[in-house]
Amino acid sequence: LHADGDEPALRVRAGGLGMRAMFVFYLVLIVGGIAYVSVIGLLHN
Amino acid sequence: MRAFVRHNSLSVAFLALFLAALVFQAIAGHADFNEEQDRHGDPTISLLRYVTSSEFGVGVMENWQSEYLQFTLFILLTVWLLQRGSPESKELGKAGRESDEEQKVGEHADARSPRWARVRGIRRTIYENSLLLVMGAIWLATWLAQSITGATEYNSERLDHQQDAVSWAEYLTRPDFWERTLQNWQSEFLAVGSMAMLRWCDRTCERRQGRRAGGGGRRREAAPAALAARLVWSRSGREAARHGLSHRSSARPHHRRLERYRLRARQAVCAARFRPAGGGRGRGH
């Protein structure tokens, strides 16, 4: 099975999953960073 | 793995640069902190203690908040404000929000559009403004975190000098908070303004070169940023992956012209670090 172009569909899907993983990773990184700094600010207060 | 790197090289590269810079910031900040301790005859601290200190936290957050403010303002202001000739801007005369038809939402959405693009009410409003909402929320959260950890750092300095601590609300009125904030804002505003102007020059030159090469000097249409600006996952990520694009830009991938626009918008991101995924076109952020 192939996608519309010349790339195998499975590889295309894997690429999509990778992008989704990066998207989620960035969000987690941002939220985690904000939470981390807030917590150390509050704990040392 | 090769497909992953090919599809995500930009985000992976920036992630690696971010982590490397953060590590070196921690190392350099730790050395600087201990030098200061030595000068005052105070005991030095470990690197682990330093990265859990308010000194390190406020240094990180004051930069984060200014970056996200920059994105938020850029997305918002490019809906109404224009810069003639700049690819960061819409064309003259197209200021303002776009119609549902242009945005392909509501009754103009197609079968492959995300569900929230087809419905009415609050869900569609969120979908239409998703990038702006996310960037704005991150900016406010980082600014809040800066103020919390900045107040702690400020108070530790005051206690060192036998002064009373101030409350968080009081800290917001202190020059220290605003100096930390504005020193970052001014640089971001200058960077965005110069980006719009310097890219203008670049594009004008490109157009001239196109004419000389017999390209007919055809006027390029500005990248329709809003069409690539939604943060909502679409069902057509497979198509987006085929074009090397992010899922969030693939609301209507069947439309060849729009794909070209999106690809151009992505290329602009490669050339300009703060070019958001189509920063602000009409209702599509």
Position with higher pLDDT, B275 vs B76: B76
Helices (H) and strands (E) in chain A, counts: 1, 0
pLDDT mean over B242-258? 40
If one compares B235 and B3, the residue with the highest pLDDT of the two is: B3
pLDDT digits (tens, 9 = 90+) for B58-82: 999 999 999 999 999 999 999 999 9
**What does pTM read for this prediction?**
0.71
Amino acid at residue number B253: P
Please give the angle made by the CA atoms of B193, B275 and A21, to the nearest 5 degrees: 155
CA B74 to chain A, closest CA, distance in angstroms equals 20
Q: Which residues of A touch B269 (CB under 8 A)?
A: none
In this complex, which of A15, A22, A25 lies closest to B241 when CB atoms are compared?
Answer: A15
Lookup: tokens for B56:
């390190």
CB B231 within 8 A of CB B247: no
pLDDT digits (tens, 9 = 90+) for B86-102: 888 888 888 888 888 88
CA atoms within 13 A on the CB side of A28: 6
Encoded amino acid at B157, one letter: E
> What would the mean pLDDT of A9-14 be, rounded to a whole number?
55
Q: Give contacts of A34 with chain B, Cβ < 8 Å.
A: 61, 64, 138, 141-142, 145
Q: Which two tokens stand for residue B147?
A: 């103020």
- What are B110's two structure tokens? 């197609």
B267: pLDDT confidence band, cut at 50, 70 and 90? low
On whether any CB of chain A is under 8 Å from the CB of B266, the answer is no
Give which of A31, A23, A14 is closest to B140, Cα–Cα. A31
Query: Taking 60 as the threshold, does the pLDDT of residue B167 lie above it?
Result: yes
Residue of B nearest to A45 (CA): B152
Confidence (pLDDT) at B209: 57
| DSSP type of residue B150 | H
CA distances from B13 to B6, B7, B18, B193, B262 (A): 11, 12, 9, 25, 21
pLDDT in tens, B8-43: 999 999 999 999 999 999 999 999 999 999 999 999
Q: Does B144 sit within 8 Å of A19, measured CB to CB?
A: no
pLDDT in tens, B124-166: 999 989 999 999 999 999 999 999 999 999 999 999 899 999 9
A 10 A CB-CB count for B46 gives 10
